[in-house]
Amino acid sequence: MVRATTRDAIDHGVGGRESRGDLVVTGLTQDDPGDRRLLSADPANRPEREALEALLLPSANNIAAVLARWDAGSADRFVARMNAAARSLGMTRTRYTDPSGYDDATVSTAADQVRIVDRAMRLPVFASIVATPSTTLPVAGTVHNTNTLLGHNGFVGVKTGSDDAAGGCFAFRAIRWIDGKRTTITGVVLGQPGHDRIAAALAAAAAMVDRIAGHARRQVPAMPDLRQRTLAPGAAPPSHRLRLHARQTRG
């Protein structure tokens, strides 16, 4: 869900149309052990691209809040922009209540998230960052992308996530050659259970891409439409909360 946070930040900062001034990260503390953060003991000037790398590679949720305030002046105003953007993309079952998506009241569906992945991957800066396996950041040092599928079996992004309400989540893009044609597969898996929820989401996405590519090669009937399972977190018992959605394009 942090992908939504980056749209205005990219527009207004990295390679964008205007500058918002210095982006400053002050001594942040970790309020919630489940809220993954990059902690800074001292104030540090953090250029926009580095902030986006911190947000998108190791899932530094505190950076989402920093970018929101920097871009819109307050988290509330930024969340309003996020919801307006969601409506403009036809994301009718999405409601954002915080910049990072960590808040339990933030809900969406796999089908809705595919829409924003499609849009975000059109931004060269975003696509470049989510395709980066690791980078070095001030204070934090070397950080690694939580998407360990990068560079394997055609995966070129996009973003993992997890919490108790949503389970393991992964928005992904993979490029495969199917029947001699370069095929882009974009999808989202949500609600993956298990001790390592991110690993479960990555495995589900890898199996999904293999299944799509295999079906196309064998020319079997198309995969069933799984959108009826794209329920908001908590709207169904755990056994019915597996949510998958994918889209493929050829070019």
Its sign, for the CA torsion 213, 219, 222, 223, is: negative
Give the model's pLDDT for residue 228: 30
Question: What is the average per-residue pLDDT within 113-119?
Answer: 95
Using pLDDT thresholds of 50, 70 and 90, give the confidence band for residue 231: very low
Cα radius of gyration rounded to whole Å, the chain: 18
Residue 32 pLDDT exceeds 60: no
Binned at pLDDT 50, 70 and 90, residue 223 comes out as: very low
- List the beta bridge partners of residue 182: 177
Q: ∠ CA(144), CA(150), CA(152), 5° rounding?
A: 140
Q: The dihedral of CA 175, 181, 186, 190: what is its sign?
A: negative
First to last CA, the chain: 27
pTM of structure: 0.76
Q: How confident is the model at residue 1 (pLDDT cuts 50, 70, 90)?
A: very low
Q: What structural domains does the chain harbor?
A: 3-250 (3.40.710.10)
- Rounded average pLDDT over 193-222: 82
- pLDDT at position 203 is 96
Tell me phi and psi for residue 185, to 5 degrees: -115, 120
pLDDT value at residue 207: 95
